Structure formats: C-alpha cells, structure tokens
Amino acid sequence: MKAELAQSAGYCFGVKRAIELAEKNAPACSLGPLIHNQDAVSELESRGIHAVESASALPDGGKVVVRSHGLGQSELEELKAGHEVIDATCPFVRAIHVMVQNAARQGQSVIVCGQREHPEVKGILGWAGSKACVVADPEEARRLPKMESALIVSQTTLGLNAFEDICRELKLRIAQPLIRTTVCDATVKRQAECEALSRRSDVMLVVGDKASANTRRLAEIAKEHCKGTYLISGAEELKNIALKPEDSVGITAGASTPRRKYEEVIAHMSDIETKVNPVDEPITPEVATEEEDFAAQIEGTLVRIRPGQTVTGKVLQITEDEIGVDIGYKMDGILKKSDLCDTDVKVGDEIEVEVVKVNDGEGNVVLSQRGIASRKLWDEVLAKFENGEYVTAVGEQAVKGGLVCSLGGIRTFVPASQLDTHYVSKIEQYVGKELTLKIIEADRAKKRIVASRRAVLEEEAAARKAEIWGRLEKDAIVTGVVRRLTDFGAFVDVGGVDGLVHITNLNWGHPTHPSEAVSVGEEIQVKILSLDPDNDRVSLSRKATMPNPWTVAEANYPVGSVVEGKVVRITTFGAFVELEPGLDGLVHISQCALTRINKVEDALNVGDIVRVKVLDVDTDKKRISLSVRAVLEDEAVEGTDEAIDDEYAIEEDAPAEEYTEETTEEAPETEN
C-alpha cells in the first residue's frame, strides 16, 4: 500500500498564529473554539485556553482571544470595553474587514459569498454596513434584485470554483460588480492539491473535524474525483475502512486539524510506503514562510497610526458635517468639517490629515487638519524669518506700545517704533489694513512673532536708491530737473538722487548767483563729475555740456570786428568785457576812451554795455584784446567825413591828441 500525504495538510497560517497567540497569553478564554477540532480544543483547554460560547460567559476583565475568523466591529468594541482582547483575527480576514468597511462608508452594497452561519462570514458582515448580504450559491445569486454596483468578496475558505460560479451569476444582475477574490491562498492551494491527489489515489482520507467547513469542502472536492473518499476525525475511524494492500492512499487534512491527528492515521496504516512528503518530515518551511510572507504583506498594507501622526488619506464620502477618509488603517477616519482646512475637497481627493484619536470609542479614527495647517504656517513663517523674506499681515488691534496683527491666524506684534520710518501718533490707522512686514523675532514654542514695517520701508528705500545709484555713471550726461537754488549752486534731481551743480559749473560765464543761469523746475542737461554713494553726494556740471566759447572765439570774433559786451570787472590796467558767458576780453586802460584817463572808472563802470573793437584773439593764451577807443575813433572819423561831405570844409592842421599804451601793470590772462 502506498500513502501520499498532501503537502498543505494541517494547520494553516492563520490557525497556527491564533493558537500561538492564545498559548502565549494563557490563561485566557476564547470566544468560541479557536479551531474546529474537538481534540485540539480539549488540548488547549488543558493548557489554560477555555472556549466560551458567548461574551456574557466571559469573566470580567480577563483576557479574551478573538479567533482567526474575527468578529464584527461592534462585537469587537464591546469586548474591548470590558476585557483585555488578544486579537488573533487572521490578517487575511482582517483585510476583508477593511475592504467592506470602506465600501460601506461610500454607501456601496456588499455581497459576501459564503456560508451564512460561518463565524467568519458573520464577522465580515459586522463591518459591511446595512447594505450587505450573504450569497451561499449561484441559485441565491439568481434571486438577488438587479443592482447598479456592489463589492463582492468571499469567505476565505470558499472554493475558488464555487466563488467563480456565484460571481458569474452576480455579474448578470449587477451593472458594475467590484469583485475581490478573497479566497485564502492557503485554501486555494490546499484544495488544488486535494483535487490533484484525489485524481491519482484509490482511496482519499480527509482528516479533520466534521464541523469544520474547510475540511468538509476538501472531502467534497476529493469525492468528485475519487469514489473512495472518507472524512475521518482520526486513526480510530480507520477500522471502518477496507484498505487493500494495492491501494494508493492520498491523505490530506483540514486547516484546523492538528498535525498529531493525521500522523496517527498514517501510523495506524500497516504496510504503508510513504511516497511523498513522509510524515516524519515537518511541514516544509517554504510553505510556512510563503504563508507568513503573504500575511506580512497584508499586514504591511494596514497602516499603523498614532495620535499626532500626519497621514495622507483618500476622501471616501462627504456628509453635511463630516468627511470620511480612507487612511489605509483598518478603520476609516472621520474629519469634522469644522476641522477641515483644505478647500474644494471632493470624493476621491487625497488630503493630508492628522490623527487626533486612534479610536473615538465608536471605532472611528478622529482626524483633523487644524494642527497640520498651523504647523505648516509656522514652518513657512520660520523659513521666511530665516531667509529675511517679507510677510503679509492684517492689523487687528492698536494696543499700548504697538499694533497686533494677524499673520494667517498667528498673532504678530509690531512695536510702534517699527510701524514707520517716522514717529506714528495714530496707531489705529493701521487697523484693518494689510501690511508688508519683516519678522524680527520668532519663537514657535512661545508662539511669539515680532515684526517691523519700518524695516521693510527702509529696505525698499535702500533698494530704490541702490537701483538709482546703479544707473548713474561718472562722466555720463543725463537730464535733470532743477529742484532748488542756493548761493553756491543748484540742486538737480537726476532720477531720484539730487546732485549739486556748483555755481562755477553752471555755465561758461561768471554768474554771481545760480538764478542768473538756471531756474527752479527747469530741465537741464548735466554731466556727472563724481559719485559718492556712501555720503549721498553727486557732483554735476552743466558747463561741461556746453561748447567751450574759446574753441570758436577766433571765428566768432574776427580781428577788426565791432561787438557789444558788458563790463564785468575793472582793474587798474583796464576793464574786462564779457562778450558772451565764458568769453571775456580786456580793454586796456589806454583803449578805454578817446582821451587819456587816469583810471579806468573815468570811462567805464562795471555793468556798462559797451561797443568794442576786436584788436587781437589769442586762443592759446585765452586772451582777447578789445578797444573802446578804436570804436570811438572810427565813429569820429565817420562823423568828420560826414561833416566834410556836408560842409565841404576840412581842418587839416588840427593836431591829434597824443596817447601811449604804457601801463604800470602787465595784463593777466583771462580766467576762463
């Protein structure tokens, strides 16, 4: 006789985990038997794990183990209220709880495919909301009313084929079915292996408790392919089975069958030749590891949260007062609209929320955005403080010593001395106004911010000035406007900066007052002579923008020409006559009159407008010699000629007055 043991026989990951957790926490009670195997339950009993049928039978305050099937939300919360709960819900089952709960929060219908009375199915329904129902087979699926949409999940131990059969019918009745194959991988493997083994065996022994759904399901599958299939609870039932030496015997066991049970079966079979997976070998670590990995993955998808933690969640639903948010945790979060800071939030949006409470007593995670918004605002404010950036705040209240502002909700104080560049007597004028401020002190712990408007104004003025100074260049010729006149010159605005044109630089002449050259408001061209930004000084020259009269003196005042000029200065040796601004000529004392004079003033006075004859122009030495006498002589000759013409009489012997040009002083160069 050959015997072959299914590799996946015996405890599944979830059952094994539940037993380990229970044993670790013994003495404890379990709500219902931890596994569907009477022998195993008795064994646990002996190790201090007592199964009770209902919560009312639990001793107050003791430890209670929730078995791998899990519980409904309200039952679990009730249990937690009075006991120390060791939650051994299989992670695969818990993943289904999360799925159906999220669907229920979105108002979606949930269909659970499985056995109505199975504790796992009851537990799932306890998370699935009021629009959930159970469908046991395709026939029940056909009786369902037509639906627009529904989430469809399965009991973890339902056969994959059975689930697909039901889904086929459901698809005909539901316009948008959302099918989630939640048949446990361990179950799928076990059933697939059972089917394959039963196909090649003469006899199939399915070891397990007849009360176990997954064991019964294995027997059903095996029966389909092997007529000699027997569901036995242990070795003692072998005596009822006629095994022939030539039979090949396949052996498998349900997920809740202790290993000892199927080992006993094998031991009692005589003449057994173990073909594959001998019983004295442990369950392969690969299988266990695979299951544990999968469970770890499921656990990994369930976010762990703590109060104060910021998480990103997806908006599931929006009611009048609240927003349901999927934060990837086993429970969805509730965000009151009064705690919502984001605007235009829609279902499906991802939002950042802060966990306020992991459980509000009703199984909800309490969320808020207020802390996040405040933290973000402080982060921004502190960053701006460090970078010296400006902030905008609104004046709220004038208080003693300054102004209280709101910086996006953060109280900010602006001392009176920091409100402007000058003294402010009416602080109230800033209430209700938007102010650009620079933070000069920030302390998140003390929630204190001190800011200055004055700093902003000063910096802006400095920036403007720097920009203007940057535009000014030495030797550049710019247009400016005369702003004011003083005795020593004219101040000219050259685009935001006032520069001085000294009186000597106003033109080529010798104005005694700037008003003789320019007037306030006049637009003039000036050359920048020097720049001194540190002392705010710009030196300008208007004269430098005008042509030098000496360069054209020879052409404009040819020798022998008679021009008009103004006596601007008298010296002992003569009078200086201004022909044009910047161009003075000397009338030597000997040339001041027709007759000899003792001093210049005898003939000329400052301010006199005189006609002079150009005797000489020396542009190199910048000297022009002029003569009043020559003009007078010419006029006299002309007058005489006219008299002769008129009277036909000439006094030929009349002696000319003697005149010498000797002077005691050398004529200096003109000062241009």
Judged by beta carbon, residue 184 or residue 492, the one nearer ligand SF4 is: 184
- From 13-21, 239-247, 424-432, 434-442, span contacting ligand SF4 (CB under 6 A): 13-21
70 binds ligand SF4 (CB under 6 A): no
Residues numbered 225 to 284 that lie near ligand SF4 (CB under 6 A) are 255
| Binding range to ligand SF4, per CB under 6 A, among 10-18, 128-136, 275-283, 519-527 | 10-18
For residue 389, the one-letter residue type is E
Based on CB atoms, which residue is closest to ligand SF4, 40 or 482?
A: 40
Minimum Å gap between C-beta 141 and ligand SF4 is: 23
Contacts 24+ apart (CB under 8 A), 395-398: 395/430, 395/431, 395/432, 395/433, 395/435, 396/431, 397/431, 398/427, 398/428, 398/430, 398/431
Q: Which stretch binds ligand SF4 (CB under 6 A): 87-95, 470-478, 489-497, 643-651?
A: 87-95
CA–CA separation, 206 and 193 (whole Å): 12
Q: Among 75, 78, 84, 120, which one carries the catalytic annotation?
A: 120
454: number of CA atoms within 13 Å, CB side?
A: 15
Nearest Cα to Cα of residue 455 among 427, 415, 412, 494: 415
184 part of the interface to ligand SF4, by CB under 6 A: yes
Kindly list the distances between the CA atom of residue 609 and the CA atoms of 612, 628, 669, in Å, as whole numbers in the listed order: 10, 11, 22
Q: Is 208 in the site for ligand SF4 (CB under 6 A)?
A: no
Adjacent-strand bridge partners of 111: 133, 152
Q: Least Å distance between CB 11 and ligand SF4? A: 8
Select from 90-98, 169-177, 435-443, 640-648 the region that touches ligand SF4 (CB under 6 A): 90-98
Among 49, 135, 166, 186, binds ligand SF4 (CB under 6 A): 186
Contacts of 303 (CB under 8 A, 6+ apart): 311, 327, 328, 329
Assess 15 for contact with ligand SF4 (CB under 6 A).
yes
Segment contacting ligand SF4 by CB under 6 A, of 180-188, 528-536, 599-607, 618-626: 180-188
Quote the least distance from Cβ 10 to ligand SF4, whole Å: 11
- 14 lines the binding site for ligand SF4 (CB under 6 A): yes
| Closest separation in Å from C-beta 158 to ligand SF4 | 10
Which residue's CB is nearer to ligand SF4, number 6 or number 93? 93
Considering the complex, state which of residue 67 and residue 83 has its C-beta at the smaller distance from ligand SF4. 67
Residues between 39 and 68 that touch ligand SF4 (CB under 6 A): 68
120 is catalytic: yes
Query: 176: part of which helix (H) or strand (E)?
Result: strand 174-179
The residue among 304, 453, 444 whose CA lies nearest residue 376 is: 444
Of the two residues 6 and 579, which places its CB atom closer to ligand SF4 in the complex?
Answer: 6
Identify the three-state secondary structure at position 609.
Answer: strand
- Give the Cα separation of 543 and 248 in Å (integer): 125
CB of 192 to ligand SF4, least distance (A): 14
Question: Binding segment for ligand SF4 among 89-97, 158-166, 200-208, 412-420 (CB under 6 A)?
Answer: 89-97
- Minimal distance in Å, beta carbon 214 to ligand SF4? 6
Q: DSSP letter at 583? A: E
The stretches of 389-441 forming alpha helices (DSSP H) are none
Whole-Å CA distances, 400 to 66, 411, 425, 439:
65, 16, 12, 20
Question: In the bound complex, which residue of the shown chain has the CB atom lying closest to ligand SF4?
Answer: 14
Size of the site for ligand SF4 (CB under 6 A): 14
d(CA 597, CA 603): 7
Report CA Rg, the chain. Answer: 56
To ligand SF4, the closest distance from the beta carbon of 361 in angstroms equals: 29
Judged by CB under 6 A, does residue 90 bind ligand SF4? Answer: yes
User: Is 157 a binder of ligand SF4 (CB under 6 A)?
Assistant: yes
Which lies closer to ligand SF4 via its Cβ, residue 114 or residue 499? 114
Report the residue number, 91 or 582, with the smaller CB distance to ligand SF4.
Answer: 91
Would you list the DSSP string of 267-322?
HHSTT-EEEES-TTSPPPHHHHHHHHHHHHHHHHHS----TT-EEEEEEEEE-SSE
Coil vs helix vs strand at 122:
helix
Q: Which among 379, 378, 377, 411 is positioned nearest to 394, based on CA atoms?
A: 411
| Binding region for ligand SF4 (CB under 6 A) out of 106-114, 145-153, 179-187, 493-501 | 179-187
- Which CB atom, from 190 or from 588, has the smaller least distance to ligand SF4? 190
Identify the residue among 156, 198, 229, 539 touching ligand SF4 (CB under 6 A). Answer: 156
Q: Does 12 help bind ligand SF4 (rule: CB under 6 A)?
A: yes
CB of 13 to ligand SF4, least distance (A): 4
Q: What length does the chain have?
A: 672
Q: Select the residue interacting with ligand SF4 from 73, 109, 187, 418 (CB under 6 A).
A: 187
Exposure string of 10-42, with b = 16+ CB inside 10 Å and e = fewer, is: bbbbbbbbbbebbeebeebbbbbbbbbbebbbe
Provide the CA 573 distance to its chain's centre, in angstroms.
Answer: 86
Should residue 93 be labelled a site residue for ligand SF4 when binding is judged by CB under 6 A?
yes
Residues in Cβ contact with 462 at an 8 Å cutoff, skipping those fewer than 6 apart: none
**Strands 109-113, 132-135: parallel, antiparallel or unpaired by DSSP?**
parallel
For residue 330, the minimal CB distance to ligand SF4 (Å) is 16
CB of 215 to ligand SF4, least distance (A): 11
Residues that bind ligand SF4 (CB under 6 A): 12-15, 68, 90, 92-93, 156-157, 184, 186-187, 255
Provide the annotated active-site residues.
120
